Amino acid sequence: MKALYITWQDPQARQWHTVGKLSKQNDSYCFVYTQGAIASPRFKYLGRMHDLYQRFVSQELFPLFANRVLSRSRPEYPDYVRWLAVDPAQQDYPCNCLPALAVKGLLMSYAFIRILKLTLMAKLSCSF
């Protein structure tokens, strides 16, 4: 899995907008805002990523997403990986968290934010 898309629900209009793309490139995570973030008049920003036109790059998963992935040091981690139905060998936390985020994103979404795989976005007819 190379990228996940972040959707945001306008609290007034109740419409969902694709506002960002999180990807893993070599040893870095990259986050960019999509046109949906720019086009939605009520959308502001996510976390500390205030500039809608900047490309954010980090060696570590951004805090907004990292707090959604359980640490391997937790005793319930093996159950967590089984529950997510992802390959534990691919879950080199925190280096490859995208599969876990993709599964957990729909289940544990914030009030107005969801994380989606590209294939799921196509099924839901989301635009970005």
Range of the structural domain that residue 55 is part of: 3-124
Task: Identify the band that residue 101 occupies on the pLDDT scale cut at 50, 70 and 90.
Answer: low
Mean pLDDT across the chain, nearest whole number?
75
Bridge partners (DSSP) listed for residue 16: 9
Say which residue, 18 or 102, is predicted with more confidence. Answer: 18
Q: How confident is the model at residue 123 (pLDDT cuts 50, 70, 90)?
A: very low
pLDDT at 89: 62
Alpha carbon of 8 to those of 18, 51, 98: distances in Å? Answer: 6, 16, 18
User: Which residues are within 8 A (CB) of 27 and not within 5 positions of it... i.e. 6 or more apart?
Assistant: 59, 95
- Phi/psi for 123 (5° steps) reads -65, -35
Tell me how many degrees the CA angle 11-15-18 measures, rounded to the nearest 5: 105
Query: Cβ of 115: how many Cβ atoms within 10 Å?
Result: 24
**Would you place residue 94 in the very low, low, confident or very high pLDDT band (cuts 50, 70, 90)?**
very low
82 contacts: CB under 8 Å, gap ≥ 6: none
- Euclidean distance between CA atoms 95 and 82, whole angstroms: 19
pTM higher than the cut 0.85: no
Mean pLDDT of 103-128: 51
How much is the average pLDDT of 10-24? 89
Q: Please check the confidence at residue 93 and state whether its pLDDT lies above 90.
A: no
For the chain, the domain total comes to 1
pLDDT-derived band at 37, boundaries 50, 70, 90: very high
What confidence score (pLDDT) does residue 108 get?
Answer: 41
Instruction: Tell me what the mean pLDDT of segment 77-93 comes to.
Output: 66
